[in-house]
Structure 1
Amino acid sequence: MFIVLRLKHNNQAFGFLGGKEVGAAGVTNLGLRDQIFALEWTQKYISAFGGDPARVVMYLVPSFLHAFSNNFISSGGVSAGAISSNLLLLSNKQNSNSLFRGAFMESGSILKLPHAVDRQSDYDGLVAANNCSASSDTLACLQQVPFESLMATVDNTADLFSYRSLSLTWQPYIDGDVIVQDPYISTSQGLYAKVPIMSGNCDDEGTVFSFSNQNITTDAEFLDYVNSNYLPASTQEQITQIGHLYPEDPTQGSPFNTGTANQLTPEYKRLAAFQGDLIFLAPRRFFLEHTAATQDAWSWLYKRGKDTQYGASHASDLAIWFPANTSNDTIAVDAMINFINTLDPNRPAKNSTVKSSIFWPKWNIPSPAGSSSLLTFNDDRINITADNFRVEPREFLNNLLLGEAIREHE
């Protein structure tokens, strides 16, 4: 059974309000708790609809993506939905990772997350904006604010397309319950569901999130932004190394492999490369390096659309999973249908006529180039390539994030 869950008010205060008051009330990470509740409901009632609770594949839909395409209503497991799926795969006190038998994650993986107490200033800001500061119970006061008024103050906080970009105001956080410890630590310790997964990225994940940073135009401003906005605990030596790994050279920036084209500002392609790797491509590789050793895992890379300033941008691969015209180029669709039915993108269900025209190796099986395998979608072909691009910067970021998580945990 394939269950699609649509996430309402994704990445907003309604689902991810932090702070000590929220922790004391036991209402942390409500966005994830809602998803767990939906999965539990499915387990309990899906048989009444002819489904099998033992055959649920998780694929979560973030509602904000409807702004980009009319086709998103039938899609999911992408972006914040993929991140949610990955977080629910991790071991926690809610046993969320026992509620499904497989997961599909598109443009989203684990993240290094803050602790609940780290979100106190955001909570206090929302309290002040809604005139609740003088209340003896500020959380109860917030709960009494009319929806439209509360939403107006939430909308005034930094979002994905603000200067803070992917350093979100409202995001999941470590609460000791739904997220018991940093996802990098849980992953490194093997504390995740041992179920088959599919996880992939677009090549230029960071481009659409770098348009709001156009006032960053120098090397010094780039390094300061990386340090202050994303990696405040990093040393100056580490930040300097990031500057070397993500140079000002536009030919090495994102959209990748486009030479000097698409250089919107002197630092645009550099920012896009760094932000895409930090939040999307490096975490995917880290998660696969561990899960591919313990269970079946497949991965892909979407590289189409390099002729625009966005390139193969975040979530642009939805067109291959949910094409408007299914008369051709259905390799991705066939693979997804097979995975839902058999937990293997290459193996169709019994009596099914869905047969892929290309064999998709698991991620840890060497590609023809001798490295981990990716099913890669180029403009002119679909083939198996190696997951051997930008290995040094991605490994540096993963080691940096894991190290910081461990230090914070100690």
Structure 2
Amino acid sequence: MMKLAVVSAVTAGLWPLVAAAPSPSAAAKDATTPVTVTISSGTILGKASDTVDTFNGIPFADPPIGDLRFRPPVRLSRDLGTFDATGVAAACPAGPTFSFKDLFPPSDVAGALTGGLHPPNAAEGAVAAAILESSAGEASTSSEDCLTISVQRPHGVEAGAGLPVLFWIFGGGFVAGSTSGFDGTKLIETGVLHSQPFIFVAVNYRVGAWGFMPGKEILEEGSGNAGLLDQRMGLEWVADNIEAFGGDPGKVTVWGESSGAISTFEQLVLYDGDATYKGNDLFRAAIMDSGSITPVDPLDTQKGQDVYDAVKKAAGCDVDDSLACLRGLDNGNFTVAANSVPGIISYQSLALSYLPRPDGTVLTDSPDALAKAGKFHHVPMILGNQEDEGTLFAIFQQDMSTTDKIVNYLSRFYFHTATKQQVTDFVNTYSPEIADGSPYRTFGSFDFFKGRKRIASILGDLVFDLIRRVTLQIVDNVSPELSTWAYFSSYNYDPKYGVLGTAHGSDINVLFKKDNANYPTLSGRTYYINFLHNLDPNNGTRTDLFWPQWSEGHQLLNFEAKSISLKDDDYRNSSYSYMFNHVESLHF
């Protein structure tokens, strides 16, 4: 792998900008000055700090409760009057994420609990769950009445300012997350610092069984992928209302991380790529951090039906009209049933119970098939990954010491249409040597059970890393004129200890929470803000290093701990080639 260029942040001349940035105390000041914005549904009361105006939890849809549980969102039908948006937006109900019973192979739970198996590292599981919840932005309260938008803007901006809009879709494995954990203040202050101000918008959407319930019952009713439709209605709300906050509805960039990035790609292919509303495009660009295409089977596939049947059984709703029964439960009892299936921090890991699946209408096919057919919204894109995407999800598989054990695991929980030989051929593209697994470049660390680093590498590539390269190549084949950029983050590399490496979700702290004095926070924000304003990460504020388009040599912008470089996008190429050539057989 050839390093083509290296430039430090210091020599790039960005540090003088840090000194000019607003102080953290000013940014964090909890001023009491009210600020109001009037939209068609009412007068929205927000709060103003010295640098940012914030409006939290503005409803955009009717509460999806009672008969509306699972159904597509219904546009807000009531007048809000004067609405207090100064508090914290409630999260949608969440789960399943982590429980002790899910740490073991399903057929071996009893033996494990009685000492028949070597117990997995539950402490690591708790850490993994905490990382997931941190990156998902959990709120302190939750409610089914949760379909809300939060808006932040530079203080003093008024209606008609025409600022571009950064539309955030949070991650959390489609089972967790909320807008309340994502304060855009530091991003907005950086935009002002660069004389490129913008509006930050975050959308709450239903997760877990509430937003992504599978099964033939859901399919026949036409209620599939409600969570994606929540996101789409949030974009429509922006089109209708963001001018009143000072935004330009014609300059929206959708940005997501993890399942939020997967959701961003789903928004590209929703309705076969039709992203128009009232005759105009809902967004003009997309950023996907750790997520892109996720190849999946239909909503009523056997895996999906098994999930639905498990939930209705746990709920005591194994009756003729099971949907009516499930809708009749209070949210507490429904939550217990909905979360009775395995969570994301578990033995089954990324073989998710709840995720977007083709329903024939909203999502007419698997995203990979839609992309290959050119049925996606053709806009400039940034896609990227953390170096060690899989370590967070490779804690509880226990013994993966042979190719056969990994093949059996993947065949049982992930690939229900692939043949055993296909899965074997894919697994054999990964080296069994400990030093070759993830966290990469760390030799023997992290190998708590045999094969752990190998399965970490496989899971990270399937869902996040190499599937990004597959996505870029498909897009480039279909639309070679489309502008795309790709990055790679390795800033948490530790050759001595490894731990989780630059794990999935590492970018959340870097981009949202750290001050600009922390490298590469300022650099990463600068590229994104340039892209938001000018549809090119190099155009605007001077950056550390010129970032070439991916199609121009397949190079990645590599964010390291103290510097930035260009890196060839050719690692684990045999695994990538197998994924690209057999993606239709690797559906979840």
How far apart, in 1, do the equivalents of 2:244 and 2:222 lie?
A: 32
TM-score (norm 1): 0.87
Q: CA deviation at 1:217?
A: 4.1
Instruction: Return 5+ residue gaps in structure 1 as ranges.
Output: 60-76, 349-353, 367-371
Which of 342, 347, 363 matches 1:179? 363
Which of 199, 209, 213 matches 1:13? 209
Which of 263, 274, 293 matches 1:110? 293
Partner SS, residue 517 of structure 2: coil
**Deviations for 1:123-168, whole angstroms, at most 9, x for unmatched residues?**
121111111113x321111111010111122222111111111010
CA contact (8 A) 2:435 2:443 kept: yes
Q: What does residue 166 of structure 2 align with?
A: 2
How far apart, in 1, do the equivalents of 2:241 and 2:269 lie?
A: 24
Partner SS, residue 417 of structure 2: coil
Q: CA deviation at 1:323?
A: 4.8
CA contact (8 A) 1:321 1:336 kept: no
Q: Within the alignment, does 1:300 sit opposite 2:483 as a pair?
A: no
**Deviations for 1:224-272, whole angstroms, at most 9, x for unmatched residues?**
1122222232223222222321132111111112223322211100000
Q: CA deviation at 1:321?
A: 2.3
TM-score (norm 2): 0.62
Q: What does residue 529 of structure 2 align with?
A: 337
- Greater per-residue helix proportion: 1
Partner SS, residue 212 of structure 1: coil
Which of 395, 409, 414 matches 1:230? 414
Q: What does residue 405 of structure 2 align with?
A: 221
How far apart, in 1, do the equivalents of 2:223 and 2:399 lie?
A: 38
Which of 144, 153, 161 matches 2:337? 153
Q: Which amino acid aligns with 1:18?
A: P
Partner SS, residue 211 of structure 1: coil
CA contact (8 A) 1:248 1:266 kept: no
CA contact (8 A) 2:206 2:230 kept: no
Seen in structure 2, the aligned counterparts of structure 1 residues 177 and 287 have a Cα distance that, compared at 3 Å, is same
State which drifts further: 292-301 or 171-180: 292-301
Q: CA deviation at 1:40?
A: 0.9
Which of 40, 57, 66 matches 2:253? 57
Cα RMSD of the aligned pairs, angstroms, is 2.0
Q: Which amino acid aligns with 1:396?
A: Y
How far apart, in 1, do the equivalents of 2:206 and 2:246 lie?
A: 30
Seen in structure 2, the aligned counterparts of structure 1 residues 385 and 279 have a Cα distance that, compared at 3 Å, is same
Q: CA deviation at 1:355?
A: 2.0
Q: What does residue 123 of structure 1 align with?
A: 308
How far apart, in 1, do the equivalents of 2:310 and 2:402 lie?
A: 31
Q: CA deviation at 1:382?
A: 0.7
How far apart, in 1, do the equivalents of 2:427 and 2:323 lie?
A: 42
Seen in structure 2, the aligned counterparts of structure 1 residues 295 and 143 have a Cα distance that, compared at 3 Å, is same
Q: Which amino acid aligns with 1:116?
A: L
Q: Identity, % of aligned pairs?
A: 31
How far apart, in 1, do the equivalents of 2:322 and 2:428 lie?
A: 46
Seen in structure 2, the aligned counterparts of structure 1 residues 404 and 318 have a Cα distance that, compared at 3 Å, is closer
Q: What does residue 503 of structure 2 align with?
A: 313
How far apart, in 1, do the equivalents of 2:270 and 2:330 lie?
A: 36
State which drifts further: 20-29 or 158-167: 20-29
Q: Within the alignment, does 1:141 sit opposite 2:305 as a pair?
A: no
Q: Within the alignment, does 1:39 sit opposite 2:39 as a pair?
A: no
Seen in structure 2, the aligned counterparts of structure 1 residues 185 and 81 have a Cα distance that, compared at 3 Å, is same
Partner SS, residue 250 of structure 2: helix
How far apart, in 2, do the equivalents of 1:191 and 1:93 lie?
A: 5
Q: Which amino acid aligns with 2:316?
A: N
- Greater per-residue strand proportion: 2
CA contact (8 A) 1:190 1:290 kept: no
How far apart, in 1, do the equivalents of 2:273 and 2:485 lie?
A: 27
How far apart, in 1, do the equivalents of 2:353 and 2:328 lie?
A: 22
State which drifts further: 150-159 or 395-404: 395-404
Q: What does residue 62 of structure 1 align with?
A: none
Seen in structure 2, the aligned counterparts of structure 1 residues 10 and 242 have a Cα distance that, compared at 3 Å, is farther
Partner SS, residue 361 of structure 1: coil
Partner SS, residue 300 of structure 2: helix
**Deviations for 1:10-49, whole angstroms, at most 9, x for unmatched residues?**
6511111111211222211000010011111111121222
